[in-house]
Amino acid sequence: MKIGVLGTGMVGTAIATKLVSAGHEVRMGSRSRDNPKAKEWVEKAGRGASQGAFADAAAFGEIAFNCTAGAASLEVLQAAGAANLRGKILVDVANPLDFSRGMPPSLFAGNTDSLGERIQAAFPDAKVVKTLNTVNASVMIDPGRVRGDSDVFVCGNDAGAKAEVTRILTKDFGWKNVIDLGDITAARGTESYLLLWLRLWGALNTADLNIHVVH
């Protein structure tokens, strides 16, 4: 499958690398066509890897991953182009983190709103699936880094899109427990969980952590 990965940070690099190793063709996108991190990734990832501007990656992909800073995500997706995202699954991994008052960050959306919903509202013809934002970049693509069973969540308005993303999560990324939380408004919960995640990171002194829901 052809996949566009928007983002050259830790998350974009981890996800793009894993997708290439699973046999997909992946184009990484950034603000510029000659982003040094994207070029370095293409050299390292090898066959199946390419890079370009956000719009190049979105046009290339049958599916796109949004792995950009939450505060910039809407701007990035505008640059990627609504036409390039039309009818496609848009996997949203971003968190609405506000670093303007330093560390730890707060959230610029929550409670009655979420970044996932803002993205779905701004791009109504894309099928937004929010997932993976509750774990760090390393755990996203290697859930076995965390001992025992742990869970990842999906939410979105399109059942077929969630099924396809769940297939990628299980087959390509190795997740065993994928919990479908319902429509995109559930992103309010998974994004707000970051407030707890940040505290767990501090308390446990490792970012290799996750939760398992028992019922």
Ligand X SMILES: NC(=O)c1ccc[n+]([C@@H]2O[C@H](COP(=O)([O-])OP(=O)(O)OC[C@H]3O[C@@H](n4cnc5c(N)ncnc54)[C@H](OP(=O)(O)O)[C@@H]3O)[C@@H](O)[C@H]2O)c1
Q: Given the rule CB under 6 A, which residues bind ligand X?
A: 7-12, 30-31, 35, 67-70, 72, 75-76, 93-95, 97, 133, 136-137
Q: Tell me how far, at minimum, the Cβ of 13 lies from ligand X, in Å.
A: 7
**Cis peptide, bond prior to residue 104, ω within 30 of zero:** yes
For ligand X, the closer of residues 95 and 166 by Cβ is 95
Q: How far is the CB of 52 from ligand X (least distance, A)?
A: 11
CB of 35 to ligand X, least distance (A): 5
Q: Tokens 């803002």, residue?
A: 118
84 vs 95, beta carbon nearer ligand X? 95
Q: Which is nearer to ligand X, 22 or 207 (CB)?
A: 207
Structure tokens at 104: 């730890």
Per-residue b or e along 80-117, where b marks 16 or more CB atoms closer than 10 Å to that residue's CB: bbeebbeebbbbbbbbbbeeeeeeebebbbbeebbbbb
Residue 199 CB, shortest distance to ligand X, in Å, is 15
Of 1 and 209, nearer to ligand X (C-beta) is 209
CA dihedral 200, 204, 209, 213 (to 10 degrees): -60
Which residue is closest to ligand X by CB? 9
Residue 143 is classified by DSSP as G
